[in-house]
């Protein structure tokens, strides 16, 4: 594989959050020698949108190629590399009419991880899944609204990381599906299976570590929504009763921390795949509570009062974070209430590292 110079002196800000004292600056000799040779070079592979490097706990220098959009990895010689990939996150459940309910958070994209992956010289096309798109407007009186849009698939090295499942809507509006990456959270005031979070994870990939989890549940009645599943844990279920001022939506499932492998310069400080928070329906109660998105790029769930008791709402920060595969937050209430805005899922990513 490509040669990297190893002489370093002094301390700078750590590239690996777990071993901040391991990083340093290269010696004057190595800087001079590298410039005479044409600069710092990586001869093993090229491609992607970002070229990063960091030093691990053993003092080894790793090169990291990040693909945040479609591209091609060009490998110049056979060797071994570590690969992480995640599909786009699902959008949060959407509103239709005067629902008087909260909707489910979108599930994170499916994640795949493989260490010491054997790769031969050649070109490898990379497809990065987009996040499921929300209309981004206050939704009312459109019978096509319902389950949030699914995230797009991420495809590389002959395998597919499926996009996350969209959060569930209320009642029985719109089309409905349960298979994909991480499961979407349940939507309220309807019969099963829509008030139960979907399991997702219906597309296992052999020889890779697969990460998917289910969405949290809601319940029949004027309830709040369940959180979307994350790659590190399931979404939480809603709490409280029907028409309850203290009803709370479920938080999005937690993602996973890959900073020990790639540093903190990718994803959400090295985290990926948080589920979207469910939408909270406040029947005459305060709107202070927001269901958190899962750590790793999940969007917050909205919160909204019943229109007849003021209709106050908060729909900020509902989108999943780009290039984390995080799910979008679920909407709440309906019939033109600003809280009926759901969040879009975050796009996926492919990351390759080698030394």
The b/e string for 158-176 (b: 16+ C-beta within 10 A; e otherwise) is ebbbbbbbbbbbbbebbeb
The first and second tokens of residue 92, run together, are 């949060």
Position 143 scores a pLDDT of 59
Q: Is residue 17 predicted with pLDDT exceeding 90?
A: no
Q: Is residue 11 predicted with pLDDT exceeding 70?
A: no
Q: Report the DSSP pairing between strands 61-67 and 50-55.
A: antiparallel
Cα 166 from Cα 105, distance rounded (Å): 7
At residue 24 the predicted structure's pLDDT band, cuts being 50, 70 and 90, is: very low
Contact 185, 178 (CB under 8 A): no
Nearest CA to 237 among 273, 277, 207?
277
At residue 59 the predicted structure's pLDDT band, cuts being 50, 70 and 90, is: confident
Is the bond leading into 193 cis (omega within 30 degrees of zero)?
yes
Cα 143 from Cα 259, distance rounded (Å): 43
Q: Which of 10-14, 191-195, 337-341 has the highest mean pLDDT?
A: 337-341
Q: State pLDDT tens for residues 147-201.
A: 999 999 999 999 999 999 999 988 777 777 888 999 999 998 866 677 899 998 8
Position 173 scores a pLDDT of 72
Q: Is residue 16 predicted with pLDDT exceeding 60?
A: no
Q: Is residue 14 predicted with pLDDT exceeding 50?
A: no
> CA 61, 62, 65 angle in degrees (round to 5)?
150
Q: State pLDDT tens for residues 105-159.
A: 999 999 999 999 999 999 999 999 999 999 877 765 555 668 999 999 999 999 9
Is the bond leading into 154 cis (omega within 30 degrees of zero)?
no
Cα 173 from Cα 145, distance rounded (Å): 7
Position 137 scores a pLDDT of 76
Look up tokens 């052999």; give the residue. Answer: 206
Of all residues in the chain, what percent carry a pLDDT higher than 90?
63
Q: Is residue 27 predicted with pLDDT exceeding 90?
A: no
Q: Which pTM does this prediction carry?
A: 0.87
Q: Where are the domains of the chain?
A: 8-67, 68-355
């Amino acid at each position: 594989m490509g040669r990297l110079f190893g002489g370093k002196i002094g301390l700078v800000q750590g590239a690996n959050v777990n071993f901040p004292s391991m990083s340093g600056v290269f010696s004057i000799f190595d800087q001079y020698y590298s410039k005479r040779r044409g600069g710092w070079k990586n001869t093993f592979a090229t491609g992607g949108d970002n070229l990063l490097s960091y030093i691990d706990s053993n003092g080894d220098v790793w090169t990291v190629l990040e693909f945040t959009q479609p591209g091609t990895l060009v490998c110049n010689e056979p060797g071994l590399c570590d690969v992480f990939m995640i599909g786009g996150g699902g959008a949060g459940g959407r509103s239709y009419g005067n629902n008087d309910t909260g909707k489910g958070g979108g599930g994170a994209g499916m994640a795949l991880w493989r260490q010491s992956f054997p790769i031969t010289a050649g070109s490898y096309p990379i497809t990065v899944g987009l996040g499921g798109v929300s209309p981004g407007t206050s939704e009312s009186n459109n019978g096509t609204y319902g389950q949030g849009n699914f995230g797009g698939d991420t495809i590389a090295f002959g395998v597919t990381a499926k996009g996350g499942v969209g959060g569930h809507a209320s009642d029985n509006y719109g089309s409905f599906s349960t298979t994909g990456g991480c499961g979407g959270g349940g939507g309220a005031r309807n019969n099963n299976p829509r008030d139960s979070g979907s399991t997702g994870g219906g597309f296992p990939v052999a020889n890779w570590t697969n990460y998917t989890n289910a969405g949290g549940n809601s319940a029949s009645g004027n309830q709040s929504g369940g959180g979307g599943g994350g790659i590190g844990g399931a979404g939480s279920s809603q709490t409280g009763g029907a028409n309850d001022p203290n009803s709370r939506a479920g938080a999005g499932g937690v993602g996973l921390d890959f900073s020990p492998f790639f540093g903190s310069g990718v994803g959400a400080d090295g985290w990926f795949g948080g589920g979207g928070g469910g939408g909270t329906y406040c029947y005459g109660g305060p709107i202070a509570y927001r269901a958190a998105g899962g750590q790793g790029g999940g969007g917050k769930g909205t919160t909204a009062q019943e229109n007849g008791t003021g209709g106050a709402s908060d729909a900020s920060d509902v989108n999943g974070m780009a290039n984390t595969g995080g799910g979008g937050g679920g909407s709440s209430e309906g019939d033109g209430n600003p809280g009926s805005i759901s969040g879009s899922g975050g796009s996926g990513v492919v990351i390759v590292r080698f030394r």
